[in-house]
Structure 1
Amino acid sequence: MRNSRAFAMLAIAILAGFAAVVFASRWLVQASSGATVPVAVAADDINLGQPLNEAMVRTVNWPRDSVPPGTFDNLKALDGRVVRANLAHGEPVLESKLAPIGTKGGLSAVIGEGRRAITVRVNDVVGVAGFALPGNYVDVIVNTQEGGNRTDNQQSISKIVLEKILVLAVAQQVNRDDTAPKVVNAVTLEVTPEQAEKLDLARSVGTLSLVLRNQVDHDILRTGGATKQTLLDQPVAASAPVVEAPKPVRVKYAAHKEVKRDCIGVLSGVSGSQECF
């Protein structure tokens, strides 16, 4: 009798424990599902300029309280969108990293609003030994003749004409994650329309050089350019003063006036005359 009661109590305890486990697991599942939301992330590394498709992204459960703004939970909404920045594996796909809807893939999707892309020919020296990579900033120097005329009486001058210019691509490569130097023959720069005009004129009147600068340096320095005199610290010859031609002097002639003299009358017989002295 006692054994049967003990077995009954044991069975009841086992059933109660199993029920508690079931209810607790259901509560945890419901709590965890309510604390996460689906977020679209990159299924693999994606380079900028690539159009997305459903095979390149997937959804994962992301904590609701830490979801960054601009995420997507629908993979179909990302179909055909172009990436403006590199995405690493597992990185959330944000609206700020995508080009506007309707943009086609390629370098044009990376160009900022109101900007233009222009390509300049470089070599291993002009291209800063291959360290001018996509995502870096450079200054542009032109070496030409003063006044723009290549004559013997003009001296060479080097002048920074553009500052803090973004490098969009080197040759046909736009990947900004690669830090290895690449010696190429062309560099594509992002400029404003006014800067594009200056750059095109600069390469037609002289030779160009690129100067690599720090990415966080935003200072704009205005220089007067370097000439042979400033390079050798020679005094600049003072220019001869301009002598103006003498202005013609107008001579005014006074009207002749008759000089008054003392006169007396002389009578001779019946005739008379006047003598002045």
Structure 2
Amino acid sequence: MRSVFSLVLVLGMALAGFAVYMVKGYVADTEQALIAERERAASSVATTDVLAVSKPVLFGDAITPEDVVTVKYATDFLPEGTFPTLADLFPEGEAQTRSILRPMDVNEVILASKVTAPGEITSITQELRQGMRAFTIRVDASTAVSGFLRPGNRVDIYWTGAFGDAPEETWLIGSAIELIAVDQSTDRNSVDQVVPSTVTVQVSPDDVARLAQAQADGRLTLSLVGADADLTIVPDGAQAITLPEAPEAPVIVADAPAPAPEAVPETCYTTVRRGTETARMEIACTN
């Protein structure tokens, strides 16, 4: 009987110890799970719902509500110009469209700087900054860097011409002038390498007049400026085009007239005979 009691006691103690071990393990696992959850909660990032494109879009494409999806974006890093709802992107209703100004990939957030105003189509006016004007320059393969120009590039402008009968010379008349269109395209991501017939630059109204005069009086040639060049950009509205001045005409000094010869008084003579001799005598002149 005692042996049975002892066996039961030993088994009971063993079971109790095993139960305590299991409880400790469960409590430890629970504590670890709670700690991990707290760490995840501490490291979680607040997000905001914004609109993005549901497909790749290119410059000039029109987007409708069917081309838009809602994505979550980190609130602390939300860029300026996002659209939270379709009503913000299409304020006049879902039948409205907006055109793309910059290419975007799938799920890329739509920004106000990447689309036109509601209902507008893509045009060169979106590229013009306040107070600036567009001026078109006629070019060919030799004057337009053989077709390597793209909207957004900066170029130096040279004028070749002559003043009067002087030989032709070439002057730099503008540095780091921004191109906003090549032919009829304002797409900065175009990969087509064709020789353009025209390029359009962005300059002040006064510089438009200077370029028009330069193009009428001579030839304009463009030189592409490197992306990493140390540029001096003229502020918007300031003079960026400087035309060469015609050299001053030489002053011709006329020779002084020769003095008139002094009048020589007229002298009259007569011949007088005295016998066989003759003599010449001065007498007063008579008319």
State the TM-score, normalized to the length of structure 2.
Answer: 0.58
Q: What corresponds to 1:266 in structure 2?
A: none
CA positional deviation for 1:166 = 0.6
Q: State yes or no: 1:198 paired with 2:214.
A: no
Q: State yes or no: 1:20 paired with 2:34.
A: no
Residues paired across the two proteins, number: 228
Query: Where in structure 2 are the equivalents of 1:186-225 lying within 5 Å?
Result: 186-215=198-227, 216-218=230-232, 224=244
Q: State yes or no: 1:169 paired with 2:181.
A: yes
Does the CA contact (< 8 Å) of 1:57 and 1:75 recur in 2?
Answer: no
Larger CA Rg, structure 1 vs 2: 2
Q: State yes or no: 1:37 paired with 2:66.
A: no
**Identical positions, percent:** 21
Q: State yes or no: 1:127 paired with 2:144.
A: yes
Q: Among 130, 137, 141, which residue is 2:158 paired with?
A: 141
CA positional deviation for 1:240 = 4.5
Report the 3-state secondary structure (helix = DSSP H, G, I; strand = E; otherwise coil) of the residue aligned with 2:23.
helix
Does the CA contact (< 8 Å) of 1:48 and 1:86 recur in 2?
Answer: yes
Q: CA RMSD in A?
A: 4.3
Does the CA contact (< 8 Å) of 1:140 and 1:161 recur in 2?
Answer: yes
CA distance 1:238–1:112, change in 2 (3 Å): closer
**Structure 1 CA distance, aligned partners of 2:241 and 2:174?**
10
Cα-to-partner distance string for 1:196-250 (whole Å, 9 max, x where unaligned): 222233323332211222444217796858x9xxxxxxxx99835344999xxxx
CA positional deviation for 1:122 = 1.7
Q: Specify every segment of 5 or more residues in structure 2 that has no aligned partner in the other structure, as ranges.
A: 1-11, 91-96, 234-239, 258-287
Q: State yes or no: 1:185 paired with 2:197.
A: yes
Q: Among 120, 130, 143, which residue is 1:113 paired with?
A: 130
CA positional deviation for 1:126 = 1.0
Q: Specify every segment of 5 or more residues in structure 1 that has no aligned partner in the other structure, as ranges.
A: 148-152, 228-235, 247-277
Does the CA contact (< 8 Å) of 1:144 and 1:207 recur in 2?
Answer: yes
Q: Residue type matched to 1:23 in 2?
A: L
Does the CA contact (< 8 Å) of 1:38 and 1:73 recur in 2?
Answer: no
Q: What corresponds to 1:158 in structure 2?
A: 170
Does the CA contact (< 8 Å) of 1:51 and 1:104 recur in 2?
Answer: no
